[in-house]
Chain A
């Protein structure tokens, strides 16, 4: 864990770069919504000291297009983020794996790009099946046990994807679904090895909730975007740490 953290400290640009990209994408969404709302209000304003849930409901009822514009821009940002991350993750994994020249890292990245794409696609299917199975199992349990189970399965799946991608970088069969499946099974079978990464993944799943909660609770406050951005930075840090741990604990060529 600590070694992985040290490894991460050697590449601070990644942390800042990914975070800035997220902040910029989100700020773009904010700008679209701000412009749309300002155009709809056309010089009108909500009175000072407004109750924001009411004000937003009032606004949404007058201008349903605003909600559509917000939802569409948020959706586009999320899809863009997902695609960008899928493109970039190979580069980061190659960099974490070996301290070689930039040219070598770029070469590995380019070579493994189709494999990482394929593994991501296979993984989405598997994660969907896992989630359904977890939900149906959990619904038979008391909620206090059910929801932690869903949370655990989700976190295991996240690390499973990390392992599959890492193995593609390490030379595993890039297109075969077996690579994705074995990765998930290995995470389950080796809790001592992958437990820390799963814990980091579980911690990371709280970040989106916290970001949205902060955004809501700070409505109209001066800290609104800043607090959410600070938590997002922590989220990027947790994610990179998790990847570094996975890379450190996945031996090249151990996928069979």
Chain B
């Protein structure tokens, strides 16, 4: 279809790749030695016709645990695509993710053909045995002699990786190859010596250890290559191109190769921002470059320096869009910017979301997973959810100079990233607990995105609003600093937030009796993260009732009955009944506006299912719950305001909806005649 006219810009001249995969230590800071667990030297050859990669990998693995290790469990992630009964495919078929599958090239796998253990760099080595588990995304290597704590083992693995036609993350589309989770990788060893030998499931991603990588890729000469790390060598011999990449302190190496890709080299603070684009997407390169820069600026300020010297953005060509929107260390795939029909543009539709958001999100994973390498199987919210929070903050930072930072505008009406957080929780964000393993989410219910991404964001934004942005941001920064190049858990994050913000926060001014409403930060996080429930307050009723009075007969001091007058039946007291519908509760501010134009705010702890608030000798005009919109977890705000029955509201949604419907009808009528 037609799109708006945008000229295609010329790519900037190609730039030399950075010499080192890491930025200078004075910029990035030091990296703890104990973070280094797996070092790799790999040589891989792509058969572009068969869509197969044949490789040998020399792996040096360090036992960082307390016990000797005789059996090393490994992930064979790509085997998740090997058959209909793997853990991944069972769930994926339920969720319909496989609908675009190419039945002739559906399956992908990694087939290990040989493993040799070396005692010295150049020795012959000894064959060791290995066995896939029943769930083929895992295998165990019998090391023979156990590896003592603190010692290393050198293994040489020969394997062959068959790529599927891409329908989820990894695979090929025509001559384009996105080689994602393509090699056997050791499972992460916990401090107690046990291994995170989780299967590869539909919602789960990856969990690995950091190390150094030197990878030589042999591809057809006409192919352009993008890969984790920096290119240190390259040559063309005959019809083959051989390039060597080096990466350091990353937990994976991914690459893409295909013909007809345009390279767009950019730079920011000495970081090479390299984009590989199909020709028809080149016009979008500046947009994605700016998105990476916005994310870099925001996240470096909030979570510490970006340590690597490169970031590579792969734009999947047409037909490979299923590879889009996936993160790997110092490399990610993004999505296309939507081409808007001019009719929408004529109606003043503008967005800062399409294309740019995916780039910001996948870049964000360089921190939330790339550095803060949490277990994506066990606690997907810790990277996806916290990353989504950081994405919202990128938008707030990037457009901080605007009074109304929109992500979508229609005829001047704005929709913000925070509006989006609220609305998107509505899609089954109340049916699953945030803090559970990826395999725990029901793929048929489809609440994974609303829960893991959006609800986590809302939980954190709500805490940020209640605790104050400064305290929250400082606590999160401390967390990011402490857990760089480590494997934090949800408890570690909660501890860091409690430590930074305090055990309790005061969420109200002192009442006349001196009482203050407090929130326990730990309880708040524990309940909101663990309960499949929602937060929803509503104004049930407002009005006037007969207030307290001393009319009637009372016993006087002298024992006689004193007449204190006739009863006053006129209502004198304003009241409002506030109810809590959802199972979650958070202290909430309630604003009452009176007939004399004054207003007053009270804070309710939200613990009971309802509260009746009263104001003697006042008359209410209106009551609004959470007037400043601080409770981002409250996904429904249509029930947050009531006006007194005899008051005409300033503006009502029925008027607005009616005006809009009227304008659309009038527009259509103008279109059909005369």
User: A residues near B, CB below 8 A?
Assistant: 18, 22-23, 25-27, 29-35, 37-38, 41, 43-48, 50-59, 61-62, 66, 70, 73-74, 77-78, 81-82, 85-86, 89, 92, 135, 138-139, 142-144, 146-147, 150, 204-205, 207-209, 211-220, 224-225, 228-229, 232, 235-236, 239-240, 242-243
Contacts and interface: CB of A to CB of B under 8 A. Distances in A.
B641 interface: yes
A209 B666 CA distance: 10
Residue among A23, A54, A138 facing the most chain B CB atoms (10 A cut-off) = A54
Contacts of A27: 662
Interface in B639-674: 639-643, 649-674
10 contacts: A44-B640, A55-B637, A58-B638, A62-B636, A66-B657, A77-B669, A89-B674, A147-B2, A211-B667, A232-B669
Contacts of B423: 54, 57-58, 61
A48 B624 contact: yes
B637 to A, nearest CB: 6
Interface in B620-640: 622, 624, 627, 636-640
A216 B662 contact: no
Contacts of A47: 624, 627, 637, 640-641
Contact of B642 (A30, A45, A53): A45
B430 to A, nearest CB: 13
A209 B347 contact: yes
B415 interface: yes
Interface residues of B, number: 61
Given A30-B658, A77-B665, A77-B668, A18 B627 contact: no
Given A47-B624, A51-B416, A89-B673, A212 B347 contact: yes
B657 A37 contact: yes
Contacts of B657: 33-34, 37, 56, 59, 66, 70
How would you classify the secondary structure of chain A's contact residues: helix, strand, loop or mixed? Answer: helix
A139 B1 contact: yes
Contacts of B346: 209, 213
B670 A217 contact: no
B638 A44 contact: yes
Interface string B144-162: 0000000000000000000
A59 B2 contact: no
Interface in B394-413: 408, 410-413
Interface in B411-468: 411-416, 419, 422-423, 426
Nearest to A82: B672
Contacts of B408: 53
Contact of A215 (B655, B664, B673): B664
A228 B666 contact: yes
A214 B650 CA distance: 21
B413 A216 contact: yes
A73 B656 CA distance: 16
A240 B627 CA distance: 50
Contact of B637 (A58, A204, A213, A224): A58
B654 A37 contact: yes
Nearest to A22: B669
B4 A30 contact: no
Contact of A22 (B636, B637, B639, B670): B670
B539 interface: yes
A38 B624 contact: no
Contacts of A89: 673-674
B674 A85 contact: yes
B538 interface: yes
Nearest to B650: A48
Contacts of B641: 44-48
A37 B658 contact: yes
A60 to B, nearest CB: 9
A216 B660 CA distance: 6
Nearest to A25: B669
